[in-house]
Structure 1
Amino acid sequence: MGVLQLTSRDERSFAEHDVEFLGQIADQIAISLKNALQYEQVNKTKDRLHDENMVLREQIDGACMFEEIVGSSPLLQRVLTSVVKVAPTDSTVLILGETGTGKELIARATHKCSRRSGRAFISVNCASIPPSLIASELFGHEKGAFTGALQQRQGRFELAHSGTIFLDEIGELPTETQIALLRVLQERQFERVGGNRVIAADVRIIAATNRDLPAAIAAGTFRADLFYRLNVFPIEVPSLRERKEDIPMLVEHLVKRFAEKMGKQIRKIDQTTLELCRKYAWPGNIRELQNIVERSVILLSGDTFWIDEAWLSNQQPPLHDLSSSLMETLENQEKKIIEAALAESNGKVAGPTGAATRLGIPRSTLDRKILQLNINKHRFMPRP
């Protein structure tokens, strides 16, 4: 076999081909490196935009979630922090506070922050429904279950399926309805009035009351087992007089709302009016403030908002329905229960073994009760 002889021309051709081939490889490597760098840059930009978007979404969600909850006081911020923590869970929430403090707003914010936010939020005022109809209202009824039940009717629990039900004024529930609600909390099921078919209850329960439930338990009007089922995560909403630093912001917010609603131009708020609002006790809390502001905006003819001082001085806190003797009996019973819990906890109020935990109430509530009832907690502490 002969040896292949290459001419100088052929060698130059191969050399040129090799250079061209190597050049193509270099170009491909350069393109690959460029693409890799671009890809890395795109990923970094994508991650940055994602992070910025998440922050923006959190800011938007925060603004929308609490848009009706106005104020920046430490007490209110503590409440909102509790809402943010408990909302993503399915835990039952018990909202405590005086009438008019905005308990339903807290319940709605909890729902809006939850995984059930895309589902229904059903609100029920237990005090506004006659005792004979409350079970039907909550759980529904079958046709012919009672006089006037002409057709089957779904209750609020069925309407709230996969969502949240808010039971306002839970302390007003009749005893027999309390038993039915306890079953829902324990077994997550119920039956319609007059029916025997078990219905699953996939519902998050938020309850609220302005009543002193431990006192109601002592008086025999509220079931202790239901209280402990409801009191998984208590949130205590402060009264307006406890967060007076929020009053100017609330007044400004309400003035703007009612002025826009009534087509009026209000450019400033009288400073004397703000001072009057700060000094007033507001027994009706935010609801009373809202009514006073609305009344003033209706009567206002100029561009400066003001409140007649007489409207505040003439406001009286509502009279309690119970007689003084019954109130005294309830206070005595409540005092005995608290003292027994303090004795069992050796005078300790807070902590896992403290009296507040034993009673199932927030520490702040127990501290207030100890002061109100003039209880000396130190006498229950062990002597050195």
Structure 2
Amino acid sequence: MSSSSNIKVTPIQNSKIDSVDFNNLSFGTVFTDYMFECEYKDGEWQTPEIKPYGNISVAPSARVFHYGQAVFEGMKAYKDENDDIFLFRPEENFKRINKSSSRLAIPEFPKEYFMDGLAQLLNLEKDWIKKGKGNSMYIRPFVIATQPAISASPANEYKFMIILSPAQAYYAGEVRVLIAEEYSRAADGGVGFAKAAGNYAAQFYPTKLAHEKGFQQIIWTDANTHEYLEEAGTMNVFFRINDKLVTAPNNDRILDGITRKSVIQLAQDNNIEVEVRRVSVAEIKEAANNNTLLEIFGTGTATVINPIIGFSHKGASYDLPKIENSYASLFKEKLTNIQYNLADDPHNWRLKIS
């Protein structure tokens, strides 16, 4: 992928890169020298610009602050041993941010601007992308409503931006989860499938309560009955029962995770049976009790694959066995090998930046 569109670039005066300790990065707190910005006004997206990273000026009456018109994406770029840079399935991210935007009445963003903006931005910041597994460049595209008006209706002005943050491995350590009994992440007919900013804000309070009880995350259940498992924190979730992999289907409550669909394909490539269906809390508890529940793991862009070692529901705790040759480790190895250009890419997921 190379850039071709007419994107204005304002050069930086001095790079911040020498002040960054790349061996001790706190996820999402260090940002590169440049950012991408494009305004929507007068009924169309204007000429994009890449400029030095810095604060933006938004009116206090901007509708994003009052009515929550904001969506985002999460992506990563990787550098191989030849200093080549790759994205992983970026068209899926492009399609998803526009799907999210449509649900919040935000105008869709042009594909050319998105892809070319990414290519130019990553080429400018190539020295910030470090080699080696675990190292990556986290990419955050997002859109906010900027029209200064507090009437309850969609805005007619927006700002689309892309910022970059160098990253190392995300979730670390052992993860125990609490299965939700009261709170819900999303409901039928809502915006659970979209990467809307408000989805994440609504999770913070119940997750805080779970932390206070010693759990790192929540596995969300359906809002109607709390009998069916849906997502784990900000991740899609998989269950291994014997040698079968089970995960909940996409719907208007569950995010269409790109890592999730990649794991499903990798399982099929490796002759591992996958069932995409509703998964009940009762089924998982029964499998834990009869020792057929071998693994639970979450999948997502930031974490890639995050094993879960135990869960709790209605005061009862369940520990998972420690097994060798886990599905979680198998899929993480195969997925990251593709992302870092260390293995063949039979499904053409990897996109080289040139």
Fold equivalence (TM over 0.5): no
TM (normalized to structure 1)?
A: 0.23
TM (normalized to structure 2)?
A: 0.24
More strand by share: 2
